[in-house]
Amino acid sequence: MSFSKFALPLVLLGAIGAGPAMADCNISDAQLEEAILKKPEFQDPANRMLVRDLRTLRDAAYLLWAYGMEEDCERVVGNVRQLIAAPEMGQLGTNDEDEADQQLSAAEPLTHRLGQVQGTRGAPNERPLININELGPGLRVDEILGAEVRSSDDQIVGEVRNVVIGTQDRWDYAIVAASGFFIAGTDSIVVPLRYLQINQERSSFFLRISSAEVKAVPLMPDQEYLWLEDDDWRASNDAVFRNLIPDGVR
């Protein structure tokens, strides 16, 4: 595991509980996006992870505000301001990989840590799955991101962490991560949306391949989405799904 993946959260543990409480939390006051555009430090590729972490903290502050936890929101916004003012703080923190692995494991969804969890498909009076291209009305983004993905034999594969829409050859993809943390090349696969199904409740997506066949799917090679420009890799990845799905689905 690389140091940059876990240094920042540990730097902030001490700061998050400190500082005066504020009655209101104005997230825009941090001017994060303005800083990302204007400060040379945030243009440095070495700080790419820091930029992502700052946006994650900003989103966390919004959630705290939305739940009425304004004092906690202001503390997190204060952390964002500190890191904007001194980006070098992102290089501080622990480099104990064993401790970091333990913390990350504790944060993963339980079903993912337990491995392939059998679902309830096949129950009496069960309604059939719906093909994505036959779904009406369409899906909202918040119905896709974070949704669980299961194999055709109803075992957990992972969750949707991102969606790529409107590629040049009109193939759209769901990025499915097999753990609570998105680590390209370790636990993420790229699934053509056209080969997904969804249950009637819109709570779970289903691949058309079994949990055993999922092992043949190549892992997403990079988190920067450079693979979108790699025609050979995409062709190889897409062929796995095309060759394994049932006849008549293509």
pTM score > 0.75 for this model? Answer: no
Place of tokens 């500190």: 82
- Counting the structural domains of the chain, the total is 2
Would you say residue 131 lies in a domain? yes
Same domain, 119 and 232: yes
| Region 174-187 average pLDDT | 68
User: 214 with 179, same domain?
Assistant: yes
What is the Cα–Cα distance from 171 to 143, expressed in whole angstroms?
Answer: 20
Whether 164 maps to a domain, the answer reads: yes
In a shared domain, residues 121 and 192? yes
pLDDT digits (tens, 9 = 90+) for 8-41: 443 444 444 444 444 588 888 888 888 887 888 8
Tokens describing residue 98: 């064993």
What lies within 8 Å, CB to CB, of 10 at 6+ separation is 93, 94, 100
Number of neighbouring beta carbons within 10 Å of residue 186: 14
Per the DSSP assignment, residues forming a β-bridge with 215 are: none
197 falls within a domain: yes
| Cβ pair 82, 66 in contact under 8 A | no
Whether residue 137 is found in the same domain as residue 176: yes
Task: Please check whether residues 60 and 117 belong to one and the same domain.
Answer: no
Assess whether 215 and 156 both reside in one domain: yes
The residue range of the domain holding 223 is 111-244
Task: Name the 3-class secondary structure at 44.
Answer: coil
| Residue 67 in domain | yes
Tell me what percent of the residues of the chain surpass a pLDDT of 90: 16
160 forms beta bridges with: 176
> Residue 139's domain is classified under what CATH number?
2.30.30.240
Concatenating the DSSP letter of every residue in 30-89 gives G-HHHHHHH-GGGGSGGGHHHHHHHHHHHHHHHHHHHTT-HHHHHHHHHHHHHHHH-GGG
Q: Which one is predicted more confidently, 6 or 220?
A: 220
Instruction: Based on the fold, state whether residues 59 and 117 are members of the same structural domain.
Output: no
Per residue in 73-86, pLDDT (tens digit) is: 999 999 999 988 88
What number of CA atoms fall less than 13 Å from residue 36's CA on the CB side?
Answer: 16
Find out whether 139 and 196 touch, Cβ atoms under 8 Å.
Answer: no
